[in-house]
A and B are shown apart, each in its own frame.
Chain A
């Protein structure tokens, strides 16, 4: 699932880069950076989990899973932070500022704190996309809103996974669904002319 999401994230990043080259609009560069980071995080997490799986959960390889999650978490933190910054720039909301927190360098397992941070960022982004949809009422805006709402829900399930393993596959499905909605938006944009 991570590999599919990775491919979609890179496709979104590519479209944003094409837009930036054409328009020199900085928010599109932020969007590109954000999705490159998301893609990189997903790829590393997917690869590390694949290696652990291929090694049949050998004790010597288990640290890779935590390493992959840590890198993915940091990549997502940065990616969603950049997106939040882009929305703040766009709306000229100078009162809202992102507090940069110095993160101690150690490996994270799936835990409530990391997921809560990501949920906080994603809910902000989903709210901005909801405001955008309420203004322009386009299907593409609705797909982006759906994508970030799904990603928020996915991380809510990742949070609940700390309580029960049942939520783990559900979280992955919600995450994949979010990226598939972004893919649908991309296809619509490129077929619109």
Chain B
């Protein structure tokens, strides 16, 4: 569903966000913005540089969890697949957190 982190080096220390966490942060910003988020809102909300944001948005679009709408100003919204992914992620996060594991 979401591009995996295969090929990455050893797991970074907890102060660094995993790729999955960045995807989720982006999608949560979009959801928070009533499912209609402009790139600048996502950029500040997910705390990313412009270049990385563009890269991640393209990846999320390619797996079909977000879609780009708007003609002049780009606006991003979650697809049904994206909403389902976030719901599943929330369950997994809650389950892992109950045991004291972070994802």
List residues of A whose CB falls within 8 A of some B CB: 15-16, 18-19, 22-28, 31, 86-87, 90, 92, 128-129, 131-132, 135-136, 138, 140-141, 143-144, 185-186, 188-190, 192-193
Contacts and interface: CB of A to CB of B under 8 A. Distances in A.
Given A140-B97, A140-B98, A189-B98, A23 B91 contact: no
Given A19-B96, A25-B96, 5 more contacts: A22-B92, A87-B100, A132-B98, A144-B98, A188-B94
B95 A15 contact: yes
A22 B97 contact: no
A24 B8 CA distance: 12
B97 A23 contact: no
Interface string B1-12: 100110000010
Contacts of B11: 26
Interface in B68-103: 87-92, 94-103
B20 interface: yes
Contacts of B13: 92
B91 A193 contact: yes
Given A189-B91, A193-B90, A19 B98 contact: no
B87 A193 contact: yes
Pick the 7 closest A-B CB pairs, nearest first.
A132-B100, A140-B98, A19-B92, A25-B103, A27-B101, A193-B87, A23-B103
A141 B88 contact: no
B91 A131 contact: no
28 contacts: A16-B95, A18-B88, A18-B92, A19-B96, A22-B88, A23-B89, A24-B4, A25-B96, A28-B92, A28-B96, A28-B103, A31-B99, A86-B101, A90-B102, A92-B13, A129-B99, A129-B100, A131-B100, A132-B97, A140-B97, A186-B95, A188-B94, A189-B94, A192-B90, A192-B91, A192-B94, A193-B87, A193-B91
B16 to A, nearest CB: 13
A24 B100 CA distance: 17
Contacts of B20: 23-24
B98 A24 contact: no
Contacts of B87: 193
B15 to A, nearest CB: 12
B84 to A, nearest CB: 10
B95 A19 contact: yes
A144 B101 contact: no
A24 B5 CA distance: 8
B32 to A, nearest CB: 16
